[in-house]
Amino acid sequence: MAVRIVGVDLPQNKRGEIALTYIFGIGRSASKTILEKAGIDKNIKVKDWTDEEEISAYLQDLLDKKAFDQKGLIYGIGHAIYSISDPRAEIFKGFVKQLAIEKGREEEYALYEKVERLAPELIAKKRKMYKGVNANVDFYSGFVYEMLDIPQELYTPLFAIARIVGWSSHRIEEMIGMNKIIRPAYKNVGKKQDYFDISGR
């Protein structure tokens, strides 16, 4: 899948610094300046979802805080408890594959599979971890939400709804167990509203 900017399909197997020069009026110097201001590594290729070396290089840039939000994280990889495998993710993955086939998104699913396999290896090398790291149940969630045409602003509420029973249980445990610290924390950032009874509607 090519990247298209101002009517120009950028080459998929060129470094970013070179790829931008395919746009009329942009030379090597301007290309370098644009990438620097955007915080993008000039050596990152535009996109080749089948090239594992390129995928690994980008994942490494994520870990080195050179790409995306520069936090050094590969979201969806790792869990505080499930260090060998996340059984929820294993079950979910089968349904994700079925949906990807139905929606004609097999190439993107294949990319997710590659990231799922490559990321733990890179993380283990980078952080010298002595326990395993693997994809968690949310690794494929965003992809599924997108395939189902769910608006992005609903992704976080769906995440919270799925966990509210567990959070409530932890809160009860905290109250019974003399205010022991629990995980995770929750803060309501919505506007305060007066309660009104809707049972009679």
Give pLDDT, residue 46.
42
Q: In the prediction, which pLDDT does 5 show? A: 47
Q: What is the pLDDT of residues 99-124, one digit of tens each?
A: 999 999 898 899 889 999 999 989 88
What is residue 15's three-state secondary structure? Answer: strand
Single residue among 31, 48, 65 that ends a domain in this structure: 48
Q: Is 193 part of a structural domain of the chain?
A: no
Are 85 and 126 members of one domain?
Answer: yes
Q: Return the CATH number at 125.
A: 1.10.230.10
Averaged pLDDT, 69-74: 86
Angle of CA points 65, 67, 71, to nearest 5°: 40
CATH, residue 19: 1.10.8.50
Q: Which residues are marked as active site?
A: 79, 138
Domain co-membership, 1 together with 42: yes
Q: Is residue 194 part of a domain?
A: no
Quick one: DSSP state of residue 44? Answer: S
In this predicted structure, what is the pLDDT of residue 189?
A: 80
Same domain, 163 and 126: no
Look at the block and give the residue holding tokens 């594992």.
Answer: 52
Residues 25, 63: one domain? Answer: no
Q: Is residue 99 part of a domain?
A: yes
Asked whether residue 93 falls in the same domain as residue 142, the answer is: yes
Token duo for residue 102: 């139905």
3-class secondary structure per residue, 131-164: CCCCECCCCCHHHHHHHCCCCHHHHHHHHHHHHH
171 shares a domain with 90: no
Q: Residue 132 falls within a domain, yes or no?
A: yes
pLDDT bin (cut points 50, 70, 90) of residue 184 is: low
Which domain does 92 fall in, by range?
A: 52-150
pTM, to two decimals: 0.62
Q: Do 76 and 119 have their domain in common?
A: yes
Same domain flag for 142 and 104: yes
Distance CA 113, CA 133 (A): 15
Q: Does a cis peptide bond (omega within 30 degrees of 0) precede residue 11?
A: no
| Residue range 118-165, pLDDT digits in tens | 999 898 888 776 577 889 988 999 889 989 999 888 988 998 998 899
Residues 123, 167 within the same domain: no
Does one domain contain both 99 and 141? yes
Whether residue 110 sits in one domain with residue 77: yes
Q: Report the number of distinct structural domains present in the chain.
A: 3
Confidence grade of residue 9 (pLDDT, cut at 50, 70, 90): low
Residues 7 and 22 in one domain: yes
Token duo for residue 200: 């009679």
Residue 197 located in a structural domain: no
Q: Tell me the C-alpha to C-alpha distance, in Å, between residue 35 and each of 53, 54, 75, 168.
A: 21, 18, 23, 46
